[in-house]
Structure 1
Amino acid sequence: MVISDGLPGPRPMAGSDTGETGNPARSNVNGMQSEHPPNSRDDAFVDEDTEAFVRRTLCSQNTLLGAGEKGTGRSSPRPISDLLPPLTSSNAIDLQLYALVSIIIREFVQTWYTRITPDQVFVNEVIRIIAHCTRALEQRLREVDLEALLLDEIPDILSAHMAAFRLAKRETTRQQALISDPRVLYHSMHPHPALSPVPTEDQPSSIVEQRENESTWRQLLVQGTLAVILPTDDFENACLRSLVAEILAEMIIGNGVSGKACEGWLLCESISKVIDGIQPATTGTERKIQEAHRSVRHNAMLHQMSNSEPTQPEPARPATMVSLASVLGLFWSLIQYGILVLSALRGLLMALSGASPLATRCVTRASSLSAGGEDRERAFAEGREPVIKRPILSMKLWSCASQLVELDLRMPWLAGFASLLHWLALAGPGRVGDTDGILDRFLSHTVQTRILNPASVPALLRTIRLAIFPNNALGPARQPPSPEEVKRIKKQCAQQLGAFLPAKAAVLLFATEGTASQCEQIEGLLDCLDDAYINKHLVFQIVELVLLRLVPELGKSGVGELIGDRLG
């Protein structure tokens, strides 16, 4: 069953009474009973290779469910969905998650556990606990307002990060600045207990103290989350709880999030991969060809202007002919722009006309878990107060994008015009942009189908896994890039961002037609991702926000109180 937020419904756990195989046919992200075939041969190869890696690591002795493939007369191996407990309600997502679990189990558990005993009972218990946690988090994820989280709360944090970084950089470059280190100034504006004190080379003790505080912060987050999610029997097992907490705190958050995901060069590479994923190959090729032709024309024009010899002036044309040509050019320009505006209005009206039957955004807490939701009048008639969501147009995503490109400094007239359109959409005739308006429903439907589509989750998890654990290994497959390579990665990211923007929009925004000048300005905008220590402030705030939305108990009680309540 697919619920209103676009996530697939829960599936029975492995080992339930579901037929001969002992595990039901689990629905994938599209709600189908069986796995969809891959879209390409490359995807098929990656999926088969991932499944083989999971099978070698977690299903080698096949004791997890107490039933193996021997003696069953099977000519082909049983699917992983029959051998391992479900992590989520999607087979495709489970495969990518189990690939991450396999790396963690192989590198963190099997390296020492296999020296003690050859059995897999302890490893199986760890896998069962991880499966229980992921299913519990999936159920909690259904109650989270993902639109507000991704379009309002996280962009708000990013906007504050960019503002603080630019202010710190500007103040520390002044001639009479009291503080010369931008890290100190940034941390004073956005202090975080895990990043205190500011590590400096002059004081080696500050580096050690900051690492200890960061490790303590990770342990508090994980222990508090496990105190809410884990069942009582598993939580009372101190050895098992400590091992799972160590895996989550050190391997995932410490090595993956804090260690690698905060590096500026890795963030630039991630942006480049996202652009490659959302940009069609044909569009990118055509855009490169157009830019190459434009560059050739521009260079040819400069060469002709520099090497041209003085020629005789052209004979003066009558004033009537000049005025007639100007009038005709203006006339045809008006016709072209008029056709463009009418086409845009026609497309907008057709899109908005189809938004009226879409689901309402004013839902009650009880109806938020049902398909389609309910109308505001029905909620009031039944005595339930509806949850009024914030309009999509009023979310921080738009102001964050404006601040990212410094729109108020580059094109203040456009920023003012956008503010006027925003006010007209929210408070103007029809209130089309207000909550549950026609435009608001259309934008919400677009976000649900394009951004929050569960079908894109497996590819995203695979990209994250390959970025954090290249070649399915804990150690990095390559050395950290040199300063020259970091500059090259940043420049390549800027070029891809410049190519992703429409040509005319890029010319208006950066006030230049040269791609080199545009890339330099985009590199200046990416400077806020250079410092890994400053990036940790941004990443840690996002991690805390996501955990508070998934586990709101962490914001109401302390970690010690939560653990004490579970242990009695």
Structure 2
Amino acid sequence: MSDSNVTTSLRLLHIRVLSPYLLTLPKSDPRRSSPPPSITGSPAIDLELYTYFALLIRDFINPWYRLVTNDQDLCTEIVSLLTLVVQRIQKRMCDDIDWTELLLISVPKLLTLHYQDYRQAKSRLHMDHASGSASLGELFHGMQPHFALQPVPNQEAEYLRLLTASILKVLLDPKDYESDAVRHLMREILSNVVLANLIESLADPYTIHMIICKLCENYADKLDNLESTGQMAETYFSAVTNETESSSQQTSSPAPDDSVTSIQAALIDAQNQQLMDNTPPIDERTTTKKEGEGLSTRLRRLKERQNELPEEEALEDVTNEERTHKRRPFSFGYITLQLLLAPIRSLWLSLTVLFTNSQERYQKIHQHKKRTRHMRLVEPSMQFMRIAFLLEDRPILQWAWQMIAMFVWPLVRVFGGGVLVDKFLELSILHVLSEDHIAYYLRCGRDLLWPDGVFLRKADPSTPLQREYMRVRAERLLTASLPLSLVKVLFDTTDLNEIQSHIHATIEPLQNKYINKHLLYLLVDLVASKIIPELVQSDFYP
């Protein structure tokens, strides 16, 4: 579906749910086609936000509110309050948050802690000093306790209500916050509908695998080629996929029709007649000898004769051309000079292109004015990579890593390389947080909460077979996406099946839903404290 069709369909959803009175106006009325009031100043982001508002009201307000009245004032008031909350969050996110520090320092440190605690809990699970924990989740919770995950009924919902109420206290106007109806309604929409379902969905390993498959979808053809050529061992899922594709190909090829057969017979007769007109008369003895041959043999000989005719005509054309044009003298020295200069010319062009591109990139990075006050932005991410890929289990690689950190990297920083790397990473973060990317993230979140336009709780849960297929698919796509040179350095092997086992060990700390919730709640607390620093002030709570 094209972007214009998607925009039109979402616009119709907005009108039908948020402004149904517009449907009563004539089609020529400009109010039907005029855009709604701007929220963020970006049409793409506003389109996604209004879609969220329409889906929230359609699924959680209209089912009970339409039973009471058909008045549209409540929905209009909810949209205006949500718009106010979004605008004030946007202002704080643009003016107060250091996104470079958040995404390159705080989040990698949190992921490193999650990986270390998971593997430490897994190693202690069956030991005597495991504190009597019966499961990996309980042992991990003992290492990272969180208030929202205490073994108390409805503890998660209560924690999200308290957090949302504190956020609304800062973002809403005092008169709106003092209204119990407005405060409770906004609190339930944001906590119970948005935050709770996002955490529940993102903590599910099936969703994580779907996101990986979505991000690596460009490597799907490469993966299919590796499986078909035997470089990766086939699984039950690849066998089922191949069988399904072959059956679909067989069903897609229809049986020959009688009309098509008659047309083919007429074309063969016409070709035979044309060949008979162009061929010399045949001796009677040859004819008598060929009478016993089958129809297929005759057709094959006629086809060969037909292929020979264009070659003979082309040969005659070339001969005539050679007769009319005088041949050019053969220069052995000229050809030798071209052969010698061709590699040098190719190398020169390659160096020119590389130097020009690197210079343009260097100038762009060098002229960028650094916004964050933090330095060494690459080190937390590299530390997480070291923990995630289990480099400590490979002594040679661990030694090389330490040598680079102790000798090579300090020299790079002394000669100005550290500043360039920090600027490059900051520009990458600004690119990731651009308008198009934010609209894409909102679209992905909408697809998670409302897959195929149906709310997540109403959809059918995934089966164990579907979950296993998505896990294997995600691991294999990650395997296919990594360059072989990097894989050789990290895992000391080029066997794709062994690499997949290493990838499985790398993403294993994200395979437990209960443990993933610890990570997500810590991320929610971190982002909330950055957006609204009043939450961590001692005088904020009475």
TM-score (norm 1): 0.68
Taking only aligned residues, the RMSD between alpha carbons, in angstroms, comes to 3.1
Q: Distance in 1 between matches of 2:143 and 2:490?
A: 30
Q: What amino acid is the match of 1:222?
A: T
Tell which deviates more after alignment, 232-241 or 220-229.
232-241
Structure 1: state its 5+ residue gaps.
Answer: 1-40, 63-67, 198-208, 298-337, 364-386, 562-568
Match of 2:425 in 1: 443
* 1:229 aligns to 2:171 (yes or no): yes
Match of 2:182 in 1: 240
Match of 1:376 in 2: none
Q: What amino acid is the match of 2:519?
A: L
Percent pairwise identity = 23
Alignment partner of 1:533 out of 500, 511, 514? 514
Q: Is the CA contact (8 Å cut-off) linking 1:223 and 1:559 kept in structure 2?
A: no
Relative to 1, partners in 2 of residues 1:249 and 1:294: Cα closer, same or farther, differing over 3 Å? Answer: same
Alignment partner of 1:101 out of 53, 65, 69? 53
Q: Distance in 2 between matches of 1:290 and 1:181?
A: 38
Q: CA deviation at 1:267?
A: 1.4
Q: Is the CA contact (8 Å cut-off) linking 1:173 and 1:180 kept in structure 2?
A: no
Ranked by relative contact order (alpha carbons within 8 Å, sequence separation 6 or more), the top structure is 2
Tell which deviates more after alignment, 401-410 or 226-235.
401-410
Q: What amino acid is the match of 2:113?
A: A
3-state SS in 2 of match to 1:116: coil
Q: Distance in 2 between matches of 1:484 and 1:492?
A: 12
Alignment partner of 2:64 out of 107, 112, 115? 112
Count the aligned residue pairs: 424
Where in structure 2 are the equivalents of 1:506-517 lying within 5 Å? 506-517=487-498
* 1:393 aligns to 2:378 (yes or no): yes
Where in structure 2 are the equivalents of 1:28-47 lying within 5 Å? 41-47=1-7
Where in structure 2 are the equivalents of 1:453-464 lying within 5 Å? 453-464=434-445
Q: Deviations over 1:20-72 (max 9, x none)?
A: xxxxxxxxxxxxxxxxxxxxx5333333322222222112124xxxxx87369
Q: Is the CA contact (8 Å cut-off) linking 2:232 and 2:496 kept in structure 1?
A: no
Tell which deviates more after alignment, 50-59 or 227-236.
50-59
Q: Is the CA contact (8 Å cut-off) linking 1:133 and 1:229 kept in structure 2?
A: yes
Q: Is the CA contact (8 Å cut-off) linking 2:115 and 2:388 kept in structure 1?
A: yes
Alignment partner of 1:360 out of 369, 392, 396? 369
Relative to 1, partners in 2 of residues 1:348 and 1:173: Cα closer, same or farther, differing over 3 Å? Answer: farther
Q: CA deviation at 1:191?
A: 0.8
Q: Distance in 2 between matches of 1:288 and 1:507?
A: 22
Q: What amino acid is the match of 1:438?
A: L
* 1:191 aligns to 2:172 (yes or no): no
Q: Is the CA contact (8 Å cut-off) linking 1:227 and 1:235 kept in structure 2?
A: yes
Match of 1:483 in 2: 464
Q: Is the CA contact (8 Å cut-off) linking 1:393 and 1:422 kept in structure 2?
A: no
Q: What amino acid is the match of 2:53?
A: V
Q: CA deviation at 1:134?
A: 0.3
Where in structure 2 are the equivalents of 1:265-414 lying within 5 Å? 265-276=206-217, 281=218, 285=221, 289=225, 293=229, 295=231, 350=359, 353-355=362-364, 357-361=366-370, 388-394=373-379, 396-410=380-394, 411-414=397-400
Q: CA deviation at 1:417?
A: 4.3
Q: Distance in 1 between matches of 2:188 and 2:212?
A: 30
Q: CA deviation at 1:110?
A: 0.9
Q: Is the CA contact (8 Å cut-off) linking 1:352 and 1:439 kept in structure 2?
A: no
Q: CA deviation at 1:346?
A: 5.7
Q: Is the CA contact (8 Å cut-off) linking 1:490 and 1:523 kept in structure 2?
A: no
Q: CA deviation at 1:424?
A: 2.5
* 1:258 aligns to 2:211 (yes or no): no
TM-score (norm 2): 0.71
* 1:53 aligns to 2:13 (yes or no): yes
Q: Which runs of 4+ in 1 moved over 6 A?
A: 342-345
Q: Distance in 1 between matches of 2:403 and 2:92?
A: 40
Q: Is the CA contact (8 Å cut-off) linking 1:408 and 1:415 kept in structure 2?
A: no
Structure 2: state its 5+ residue gaps.
Answer: 234-346
Q: Deviations over 1:175-227 (max 9, x none)?
A: 77554422222111111011113xxxxxxxxxxx1x42222210111011000
Q: Is the CA contact (8 Å cut-off) linking 1:69 and 1:77 kept in structure 2?
A: no
Alignment partner of 2:412 out of 417, 425, 428? 425
Relative to 1, partners in 2 of residues 1:284 and 1:267: Cα closer, same or farther, differing over 3 Å? Answer: closer
Relative to 1, partners in 2 of residues 1:152 and 1:347: Cα closer, same or farther, differing over 3 Å? Answer: farther
Q: CA deviation at 1:528?
A: 1.0
Q: What amino acid is the match of 2:389?
A: V
Q: Is the CA contact (8 Å cut-off) linking 1:491 and 1:519 kept in structure 2?
A: no
Q: Distance in 2 between matches of 1:132 and 1:258?
A: 24
Q: Distance in 2 between matches of 1:552 and 1:116?
A: 40
Q: Which has the larger radius of gyration?
A: 2
Tell which deviates more after alignment, 49-58 or 235-244.
49-58
Q: CA deviation at 1:559?
A: 6.2
Q: Distance in 2 between matches of 1:483 and 1:174?
A: 30
Relative to 1, partners in 2 of residues 1:559 and 1:213: Cα closer, same or farther, differing over 3 Å? Answer: farther
Q: Deviations over 1:275-298 (max 9, x none)?
A: 33xxxx4x653575467557299x
Q: CA deviation at 1:243?
A: 0.3
Q: Distance in 1 between matches of 2:44 and 2:518?
A: 33
Q: CA deviation at 1:388?
A: 2.6
Structure with the larger helix share: 2
Q: What amino acid is the match of 1:242?
A: H
Q: Distance in 2 between matches of 1:344 and 1:157?
A: 41
3-state SS in 2 of match to 1:77: helix
Q: CA deviation at 1:122?
A: 1.1
